[in-house]
Amino acid sequence: MTAAARQARHGATLGLVFGTVLLGGAVLGAWGGTVPGAPPRRAASVDAAGPAPEVAGLSPLQAERLVADGGDRWAAYYSPQEYAEFTQGLDGEYLGVGVFVYRADDGSTLVSALPPGSPAAAAGIAVGDRLLAVDDAPVDRLPVTEVVARLRGHSDQRDAGGRSAGPGSPVRLTLRRGGGAAREVTLRRTVLAAQDVAVDHPAPGVLWITARAFTTGVGARIAAAVRGAPERGMVLDLRGNSGGLVAEAVATASAFLDGGPVASYQVGGQVRQLAAASGGDPRTPLVVLVDGGTMSAAELLAGALQDRCRAVLVGSRTFGKGTVQQPSRLADGSVLELTVGRWFTPAGRSPDGTGLLPDVPVTDPAAADALALRVLSGLGSAGAKP
pLDDT tens string for the chain (386 positions)?
Answer: 433 344 333 333 333 444 322 222 222 222 222 222 222 222 222 233 444 556 768 888 988 888 888 788 888 888 887 777 666 555 556 788 989 887 787 888 999 878 888 999 999 999 899 999 999 999 987 877 778 888 987 544 555 454 556 788 999 999 999 999 999 999 999 988 767 889 999 999 999 999 988 888 899 999 999 997 767 899 999 998 878 889 999 999 999 999 999 999 987 788 899 999 999 999 999 999 999 999 999 999 999 999 999 999 999 999 999 988 888 889 888 889 888 889 999 999 999 999 999 999 998 988 999 999 999 999 976 554 43
Residue-range definition of the domain harbouring residue 279: 197-322+343-382
In a shared domain, residues 160 and 148: yes
Which of 193, 220, 242 lies at the terminal end of a domain, its last residue? 193
Which of 165, 193, 221 lies at the terminal end of a domain, its last residue? 193
Predicted confidence at residue 9, as pLDDT, reads 39
In a shared domain, residues 241 and 371: yes
Predicted confidence at residue 88, as pLDDT, reads 59
CA distance 315 to 360: 7
Kindly report the length of the chain: 386
Question: Helices in 75-171 by DSSP H: which ranges?
Answer: 80-88, 119-122, 144-152
Predicted confidence at residue 266, as pLDDT, reads 84
- The residues near 341 (Cβ < 8 Å, ≥ 6 apart) are 18, 265, 266, 267, 268, 323, 324
- Using only C-alpha atoms, the chain has a radius of gyration, in whole angstroms, of 20
Give the count of domains, the chain: 2
- Residue 288 is part of a domain; what is its CATH number? 3.90.226.10
CA distance 254 to 249: 9
Strands 197-200 and 206-211: antiparallel
In a shared domain, residues 213 and 353: yes
Q: Which helix (H) or strand (E) holds 10?
A: helix 3-13
In a shared domain, residues 163 and 232: no
